[in-house]
Amino acid sequence: MTSLNLLMLGPPGAGKGTQAERFARIRGIPKISTGDILREAVHTGTEIGLRAKRIMDRGELVGDDVMIGIVKERLDRPDALAGFVLDDFPRTVAQATALDEIMAGRGPLIVLDIVVPESELARRLDMRMICENCGTNADGNEPTGVCRMCHGRLIQRPDDSSAVVLERFKIYQRATKPLVEFYRNRPTFRSINGAQAPDSVTADLAAAIEAVGNGRVNGAGGDRGR
């Protein structure tokens, strides 16, 4: 493949962000997360950031037009021409349709669906922490409760509270889960078992990417989560 274009799918707490960061670092391509972009705007106190904060704190999704514009601008930057890892986008079929238009002429889009049981997702989200200063997600290796990036204090994300988590599950089932059906029949789609240890998930993702790259649409690494 001339470029490595990855899209991570999965519900909140599936580990998309962790795996996206790993692959971006290993492959030398940017991780593009609309969640990170929006949280940065929230932290800097911009107008769009304050609007987004009110929406995200309720566990709701930012509108398609805003998200599509953010992603299109980001994918047009020079560092994304050799490939990218998309996390948090698309979240709706409308966004996925817009992404197909954005991707025209850019090479294949590999879609990786990370599957985790709902009970495990709830447990993970209840334990997830974020830096109150820079917004970096804790990776479980901060025993002192201090951010590994800026040494800020780790807190629970407002959108990980019990009430908001339940609302986010409902939103995922209603709006985002249909993305799996949108992509499922494409030869570049793979389903991955995300209930494993992170290193095992990484290995399965790498095998799926290799299989797609070699054109083995029905290979052993192709549908290991279902």
Is residue 22 annotated as a catalytic residue, yes or no?
Answer: no
Q: Is residue 134 part of a domain?
A: no
CA distance 226 to 208: 13
Number of domains in the chain: 1
Q: Assign residue 176 the CATH number of its domain.
A: 3.40.50.300
Catalytic residue among 31, 39, 157, 190: 157
Catalytic residue among 53, 168, 190, 224: 168
Cα-Cα-Cα-Cα torsion 184, 31, 53, 142, nearest 10 degrees, comes to 110
State both tokens at 30: 């940017």
For residue 46, the enclosing domain spans 4-117+163-213
Q: Is residue 157 part of a domain?
A: no
Catalytic residue among 31, 39, 53, 91: 91
Q: pLDDT tens string for the chain (226 positions)? A: 468 999 999 887 788 888 998 999 999 999 988 777 777 667 777 676 677 778 778 878 778 877 788 788 788 889 999 999 998 889 889 999 999 999 998 889 999 999 888 777 777 776 667 888 887 777 655 456 788 778 888 887 665 565 666 677 777 778 778 899 999 999 999 999 998 988 999 999 999 999 987 764 443 333 433 3
Catalytic residue among 16, 31, 39, 190: 16
Q: Is residue 149 part of a domain?
A: no
Q: Is residue 24 part of a domain?
A: yes
Q: Is residue 122 part of a domain?
A: no
Is residue 128 annotated as a catalytic residue, yes or no?
Answer: yes
Is residue 27 annotated as a catalytic residue, yes or no?
Answer: no
Is residue 168 annotated as a catalytic residue, yes or no?
Answer: yes
Q: What is the pTM of this model?
A: 0.71
Q: Is residue 27 part of a domain?
A: yes
SS3 of 148, please?
coil
Catalytic residue among 22, 39, 53, 128: 128
Beta bridge partners of 110: 6
Is residue 16 annotated as a catalytic residue, yes or no?
Answer: yes
